[in-house]
A = this chain, B = another copy of it.
Amino acid sequence: MLALDAQLCFAVYSAAHALNRTYKPLLEPYGLTYPQYIALMTLWQEDGRTVKGLGETLGLDSGTLSPLLKRLEAAGYIRRARDRSDERQVLVSLTDKGRAMQREALAIRMEIGKATGCSLEALQALTGELHALTARLEGMDARDDTAA
């Protein structure tokens, strides 16, 4: 009873590290890290977003994203350019190499699918529960002490 929440926090912590370790050797041939790969995935869904927009999707601020995106640019996967209609914003867009990587990712997805060894239903259920958990936690973060 007293250790249940602890078990959950440790379970999430361990699963995140295990996923990271599983992806690492698959991404290494492409010179990508796991967070960089996740950033690329969001661009595959919608190209040409701002740094702020990416940060909201990923839950990361510019302190994390700015250097990460610079490395993605240096590796040739993306381009960064100031929005000419609002020079404060930086638009991030995929290069040909960045788009080509989406096709390479198919093999990676298959490897990860094998490694998880879950049924589709189990994956969907787990993903849904994690999204719900994250939403509740971030809802709590947003609340102020005004209620007290």
Identify the A interface with B (CB < 8 A): 2, 4-19, 21-23, 34, 38, 41, 59, 106, 109, 112-118, 120, 122-127, 129-131, 133-134, 136-138, 140-141
Contact = CB atoms under 8 A, between A and B. Distances in A.
| Copies of this chain assembled into the complex | 2
B18 A134 contact: yes
Contact of A112 (B5, B114, B116): B5
A77 B131 CA distance: 34
Which of A14, A19, A38 has the largest count of B CB atoms less than 10 A from its CB? A14
A88 to B, nearest CB: 26
B13 A19 contact: yes
Contact of A116 (B18, B38, B137): B137
Given A2-B109, A112-B5, A127-B4, A138 B18 contact: yes
Given A21-B137, A41-B6, A12 B15 contact: yes
A88 B85 CA distance: 62
Contacts of A7: 127
